[in-house]
Amino acid sequence: MIDTHVHHFDLQRFHYPWLDGPDVHELRHDYLPAQFRVDVGGLDLEGWVHVQAEVDHAADPVLETEWISDLSRQASAAGVTGPLACVVFADLRSAHLERVLERQCAHPLTRGVRQEVWCDPESTRADIPREDMLSDPAWVRGYRRLADFGLSFDLLAFPRQLQQAAEILADVPDVPVVLDHFGVPDPDGDPGLETWRAGAAALAELPHAHVKLSGLSMLGTPRTAERARPVISELLGLFGPRRCMFGSNFPVEQPAGDYPSMYEVFLDALGDLSAADREAVLSGTARRFYRL
Protein backbone atom coordinates (compact mmCIF):
# COMPACT_ATOMS: atom_id res chain seq x y z
CA MET A 1 0.00 0.00 0.00
CA ILE A 2 0.86 3.68 -0.30
CA ASP A 3 -0.49 5.92 2.45
CA THR A 4 -1.45 9.25 0.87
CA HIS A 5 -2.03 11.26 4.04
CA VAL A 6 0.62 11.36 6.77
CA HIS A 7 1.79 14.34 8.83
CA HIS A 8 5.23 14.67 10.40
CA PHE A 9 5.84 17.03 13.32
CA ASP A 10 9.01 18.45 14.87
CA LEU A 11 7.99 20.75 17.69
CA GLN A 12 11.51 22.07 18.28
CA ARG A 13 11.88 23.03 14.63
CA PHE A 14 8.40 24.43 13.90
CA HIS A 15 5.42 25.96 15.67
CA TYR A 16 2.07 24.34 14.90
CA PRO A 17 -0.60 26.72 16.28
CA TRP A 18 -3.37 24.14 16.01
CA LEU A 19 -1.47 21.82 18.37
CA ASP A 20 -1.82 24.48 21.08
CA GLY A 21 -5.55 23.69 21.27
CA PRO A 22 -6.82 22.09 24.49
CA ASP A 23 -8.44 19.13 22.73
CA VAL A 24 -5.33 17.87 20.89
CA HIS A 25 -2.89 17.40 23.76
CA GLU A 26 -2.42 13.73 22.78
CA LEU A 27 -0.89 14.86 19.48
CA ARG A 28 1.52 17.40 20.96
CA HIS A 29 4.72 15.48 20.30
CA ASP A 30 7.24 14.95 17.53
CA TYR A 31 6.17 12.49 14.85
CA LEU A 32 8.97 11.32 12.58
CA PRO A 33 9.30 8.52 10.00
CA ALA A 34 10.71 6.12 12.60
CA GLN A 35 7.58 6.50 14.76
CA PHE A 36 5.32 6.07 11.75
CA ARG A 37 7.09 2.87 10.67
CA VAL A 38 6.59 1.51 14.20
CA ASP A 39 2.89 2.42 14.07
CA VAL A 40 2.43 0.70 10.70
CA GLY A 41 4.01 -2.48 12.07
CA GLY A 42 4.29 -5.42 9.72
CA LEU A 43 1.93 -4.11 7.04
CA ASP A 44 3.32 -4.01 3.51
CA LEU A 45 3.92 -0.27 3.18
CA GLU A 46 5.69 0.93 0.03
CA GLY A 47 5.91 4.52 1.26
CA TRP A 48 3.77 7.53 1.99
CA VAL A 49 2.87 11.11 1.12
CA HIS A 50 3.57 13.82 3.69
CA VAL A 51 0.82 16.44 3.70
CA GLN A 52 1.68 19.88 5.06
CA ALA A 53 1.01 19.86 8.78
CA GLU A 54 -0.18 23.44 9.31
CA VAL A 55 3.11 24.94 10.40
CA ASP A 56 2.61 28.55 11.50
CA HIS A 57 1.71 30.41 8.30
CA ALA A 58 3.99 33.27 9.34
CA ALA A 59 6.97 30.98 8.70
CA ASP A 60 8.55 30.32 5.32
CA PRO A 61 6.55 27.31 4.01
CA VAL A 62 9.54 26.01 2.06
CA LEU A 63 11.33 25.18 5.32
CA GLU A 64 8.89 22.35 5.99
CA THR A 65 9.45 20.99 2.48
CA GLU A 66 13.23 21.12 2.93
CA TRP A 67 12.89 19.20 6.18
CA ILE A 68 10.69 16.49 4.65
CA SER A 69 13.13 16.18 1.76
CA ASP A 70 15.93 15.58 4.26
CA LEU A 71 13.85 12.92 6.04
CA SER A 72 13.24 11.19 2.71
CA ARG A 73 16.94 11.21 1.85
CA GLN A 74 17.81 9.80 5.26
CA ALA A 75 15.31 6.96 4.84
CA SER A 76 16.61 6.17 1.38
CA ALA A 77 20.22 6.10 2.61
CA ALA A 78 19.22 3.74 5.42
CA GLY A 79 17.31 1.45 3.06
CA VAL A 80 13.96 1.89 4.84
CA THR A 81 10.59 3.24 3.76
CA GLY A 82 10.08 6.99 3.86
CA PRO A 83 8.12 9.84 2.33
CA LEU A 84 7.73 9.43 -1.43
CA ALA A 85 6.14 12.82 -2.08
CA CYS A 86 5.17 16.02 -0.34
CA VAL A 87 2.00 18.11 -0.50
CA VAL A 88 3.27 21.56 0.45
CA PHE A 89 1.72 24.74 1.78
CA ALA A 90 1.36 27.97 -0.15
CA ASP A 91 -1.01 30.87 0.39
CA LEU A 92 -2.67 31.11 -3.01
CA ARG A 93 -3.69 34.71 -2.26
CA SER A 94 -0.13 35.91 -1.76
CA ALA A 95 1.45 38.53 -3.99
CA HIS A 96 4.61 36.41 -3.75
CA LEU A 97 2.93 33.16 -4.79
CA GLU A 98 4.96 32.61 -7.95
CA ARG A 99 8.28 32.84 -6.12
CA VAL A 100 7.05 30.53 -3.34
CA LEU A 101 5.91 27.93 -5.87
CA GLU A 102 9.22 28.18 -7.73
CA ARG A 103 11.09 27.48 -4.50
CA GLN A 104 8.73 24.67 -3.51
CA CYS A 105 9.12 23.00 -6.89
CA ALA A 106 12.91 23.09 -6.56
CA HIS A 107 12.44 20.12 -4.20
CA PRO A 108 11.85 16.90 -6.16
CA LEU A 109 9.35 15.54 -3.61
CA THR A 110 6.90 18.42 -4.22
CA ARG A 111 3.79 17.19 -6.02
CA GLY A 112 0.96 19.41 -4.92
CA VAL A 113 -0.34 22.15 -2.63
CA ARG A 114 -2.78 22.12 0.24
CA GLN A 115 -4.27 25.29 1.65
CA GLU A 116 -7.16 24.42 3.93
CA VAL A 117 -10.27 26.24 2.70
CA TRP A 118 -12.86 24.86 5.10
CA CYS A 119 -14.07 28.01 6.81
CA ASP A 120 -16.16 28.95 9.82
CA PRO A 121 -16.39 32.65 10.83
CA GLU A 122 -17.15 31.54 14.40
CA SER A 123 -14.33 29.00 14.70
CA THR A 124 -11.72 29.33 17.43
CA ARG A 125 -9.55 26.54 15.99
CA ALA A 126 -6.22 27.62 14.54
CA ASP A 127 -6.58 25.20 11.61
CA ILE A 128 -10.01 26.41 10.45
CA PRO A 129 -9.88 29.76 8.62
CA ARG A 130 -12.44 32.41 9.42
CA GLU A 131 -12.30 33.84 5.88
CA ASP A 132 -14.03 32.32 2.84
CA MET A 133 -11.14 31.78 0.44
CA LEU A 134 -13.28 30.14 -2.25
CA SER A 135 -15.09 33.48 -2.65
CA ASP A 136 -11.85 35.47 -2.85
CA PRO A 137 -10.86 36.33 -6.45
CA ALA A 138 -7.20 36.47 -5.41
CA TRP A 139 -7.40 32.89 -4.17
CA VAL A 140 -9.05 31.72 -7.40
CA ARG A 141 -6.34 33.45 -9.44
CA GLY A 142 -3.69 31.75 -7.33
CA TYR A 143 -5.36 28.38 -7.78
CA ARG A 144 -5.12 28.79 -11.55
CA ARG A 145 -1.38 29.34 -11.23
CA LEU A 146 -0.91 25.78 -9.97
CA ALA A 147 -1.40 24.55 -13.54
CA ASP A 148 1.68 26.49 -14.67
CA PHE A 149 3.80 24.55 -12.18
CA GLY A 150 2.30 21.11 -12.85
CA LEU A 151 0.97 20.85 -9.31
CA SER A 152 -2.07 19.08 -7.90
CA PHE A 153 -4.29 20.38 -5.11
CA ASP A 154 -5.52 18.71 -1.91
CA LEU A 155 -8.97 20.12 -1.13
CA LEU A 156 -10.10 20.23 2.50
CA ALA A 157 -13.55 21.81 2.62
CA PHE A 158 -16.85 21.40 4.39
CA PRO A 159 -19.74 19.73 2.51
CA ARG A 160 -21.60 23.05 2.15
CA GLN A 161 -18.60 24.38 0.17
CA LEU A 162 -18.20 21.49 -2.27
CA GLN A 163 -20.55 22.68 -5.00
CA GLN A 164 -18.87 26.09 -5.07
CA ALA A 165 -15.48 24.36 -5.13
CA ALA A 166 -16.60 22.18 -8.04
CA GLU A 167 -17.52 25.28 -10.07
CA ILE A 168 -14.04 26.77 -9.49
CA LEU A 169 -12.19 23.51 -10.18
CA ALA A 170 -14.16 22.85 -13.37
CA ASP A 171 -12.51 25.86 -14.99
CA VAL A 172 -8.99 24.55 -14.25
CA PRO A 173 -8.91 20.96 -15.55
CA ASP A 174 -5.10 20.96 -15.72
CA VAL A 175 -4.87 20.92 -11.91
CA PRO A 176 -5.63 17.42 -10.61
CA VAL A 177 -7.52 17.72 -7.33
CA VAL A 178 -8.19 15.29 -4.50
CA LEU A 179 -10.89 15.79 -1.87
CA ASP A 180 -9.43 15.03 1.58
CA HIS A 181 -11.02 12.99 4.37
CA PHE A 182 -14.10 11.69 2.51
CA GLY A 183 -15.27 15.29 2.06
CA VAL A 184 -15.80 15.61 5.85
CA PRO A 185 -19.33 14.16 6.08
CA ASP A 186 -21.18 15.36 9.18
CA PRO A 187 -24.31 13.37 10.02
CA ASP A 188 -25.10 15.63 12.99
CA GLY A 189 -24.97 18.91 11.07
CA ASP A 190 -26.16 17.45 7.76
CA PRO A 191 -29.05 15.04 8.44
CA GLY A 192 -29.09 12.27 5.88
CA LEU A 193 -25.82 13.64 4.49
CA GLU A 194 -27.77 15.33 1.70
CA THR A 195 -25.46 18.35 1.45
CA TRP A 196 -22.37 16.12 1.48
CA ARG A 197 -23.86 13.79 -1.13
CA ALA A 198 -24.73 16.62 -3.53
CA GLY A 199 -21.30 18.22 -3.14
CA ALA A 200 -19.42 14.96 -3.62
CA ALA A 201 -21.49 14.22 -6.71
CA ALA A 202 -20.69 17.65 -8.17
CA LEU A 203 -16.97 17.01 -7.73
CA ALA A 204 -17.22 13.48 -9.11
CA GLU A 205 -18.51 14.91 -12.39
CA LEU A 206 -15.06 16.43 -12.96
CA PRO A 207 -12.73 13.89 -14.61
CA HIS A 208 -9.70 15.40 -12.87
CA ALA A 209 -11.25 15.14 -9.37
CA HIS A 210 -10.34 12.35 -6.94
CA VAL A 211 -11.13 11.55 -3.31
CA LYS A 212 -9.10 10.38 -0.31
CA LEU A 213 -10.67 7.71 1.81
CA SER A 214 -8.76 9.04 4.79
CA GLY A 215 -9.27 9.78 8.45
CA LEU A 216 -11.65 6.96 9.39
CA SER A 217 -12.50 8.43 12.80
CA MET A 218 -14.12 11.38 11.01
CA LEU A 219 -16.93 8.95 10.20
CA GLY A 220 -17.42 8.38 13.93
CA THR A 221 -15.96 6.30 16.71
CA PRO A 222 -15.49 3.54 17.47
CA ARG A 223 -14.16 2.87 13.97
CA THR A 224 -16.12 0.01 12.43
CA ALA A 225 -16.57 -1.31 8.92
CA GLU A 226 -20.34 -0.99 9.38
CA ARG A 227 -19.95 2.72 10.05
CA ALA A 228 -17.43 3.27 7.25
CA ARG A 229 -18.89 1.08 4.52
CA PRO A 230 -21.87 3.28 3.46
CA VAL A 231 -19.71 6.39 2.94
CA ILE A 232 -16.89 4.47 1.26
CA SER A 233 -19.32 2.61 -0.99
CA GLU A 234 -21.02 5.83 -2.03
CA LEU A 235 -17.72 7.49 -2.92
CA LEU A 236 -16.54 4.40 -4.80
CA GLY A 237 -19.77 4.53 -6.77
CA LEU A 238 -19.40 8.24 -7.54
CA PHE A 239 -15.68 8.39 -8.35
CA GLY A 240 -14.82 4.77 -9.19
CA PRO A 241 -11.87 2.95 -7.56
CA ARG A 242 -9.36 4.53 -9.95
CA ARG A 243 -10.14 7.96 -8.56
CA CYS A 244 -10.14 6.87 -4.90
CA MET A 245 -7.06 6.53 -2.71
CA PHE A 246 -6.28 5.34 0.80
CA GLY A 247 -4.92 7.66 3.49
CA SER A 248 -4.53 7.20 7.23
CA ASN A 249 -4.28 10.79 8.51
CA PHE A 250 -1.75 9.59 11.08
CA PRO A 251 -0.90 10.66 13.71
CA VAL A 252 -4.11 12.74 13.90
CA GLU A 253 -6.02 9.47 13.70
CA GLN A 254 -3.95 7.88 16.46
CA PRO A 255 -6.19 8.75 19.47
CA ALA A 256 -8.97 6.69 17.85
CA GLY A 257 -6.85 3.52 17.78
CA ASP A 258 -3.75 1.89 16.37
CA TYR A 259 -2.79 1.73 12.70
CA PRO A 260 -3.26 -2.03 12.03
CA SER A 261 -6.79 -2.03 13.50
CA MET A 262 -7.65 1.08 11.44
CA TYR A 263 -6.34 -0.62 8.32
CA GLU A 264 -8.35 -3.78 9.01
CA VAL A 265 -11.55 -1.74 9.29
CA PHE A 266 -10.66 -0.06 6.01
CA LEU A 267 -10.03 -3.39 4.25
CA ASP A 268 -13.31 -4.76 5.57
CA ALA A 269 -15.12 -1.76 4.10
CA LEU A 270 -13.49 -2.52 0.72
CA GLY A 271 -14.49 -6.16 0.94
CA ASP A 272 -16.73 -6.21 -2.15
CA LEU A 273 -14.09 -4.87 -4.54
CA SER A 274 -12.22 -6.99 -7.05
CA ALA A 275 -8.50 -7.49 -6.54
CA ALA A 276 -7.73 -4.98 -9.29
CA ASP A 277 -10.04 -2.34 -7.84
CA ARG A 278 -8.66 -2.85 -4.36
CA GLU A 279 -5.13 -2.44 -5.71
CA ALA A 280 -6.19 0.85 -7.30
CA VAL A 281 -7.51 2.22 -4.00
CA LEU A 282 -4.54 1.00 -1.96
CA SER A 283 -1.75 2.13 -4.26
CA GLY A 284 -2.54 2.51 -7.97
CA THR A 285 -4.49 5.78 -7.79
CA ALA A 286 -1.89 7.27 -5.45
CA ARG A 287 0.96 6.26 -7.73
CA ARG A 288 -0.70 7.90 -10.71
CA PHE A 289 -2.07 11.03 -8.97
CA TYR A 290 1.13 11.88 -7.11
CA ARG A 291 3.37 10.69 -9.98
CA LEU A 292 5.34 8.29 -7.80
At 155-191, the pLDDT tens digits run: 999 999 999 999 999 999 999 999 999 999 998 889 8
- Residues 160 and 217: their CA atoms lie apart, in Å, by 20
**Tens-place pLDDT, residues 41-76:** 999 999 999 999 999 999 999 999 999 999 999 999
Q: For all residues of the chain together, what is the average pLDDT?
A: 96
CA distances from 124 to 20, 22, 31, 119 (A): 12, 11, 25, 11
| Percentage of the residues of the chain whose pLDDT score is greater than 70 | 100
Record the pTM.
Answer: 0.97
Query: What is the domain partition of the chain in residue ranges?
Result: 2-289
The CATH architecture assigned to 2-289 reads Alpha-Beta Barrel (3.20)
Q: How confident is the model at residue 199 (pLDDT cuts 50, 70, 90)?
A: very high
pLDDT for 124 equals: 83
pLDDT of 238 > 90? The answer is: yes
**Tens-place pLDDT, residues 133-163:** 999 999 999 999 999 999 999 999 999 999 9
**Tens-place pLDDT, residues 265-278:** 999 999 899 999 99
- Kind and range of the H or E element at 262? helix 259-269
CA-wise closest residue to 118 among 127, 107, 106? 127
Give me the phi and psi of 251, to 5 degrees please: -90, 5
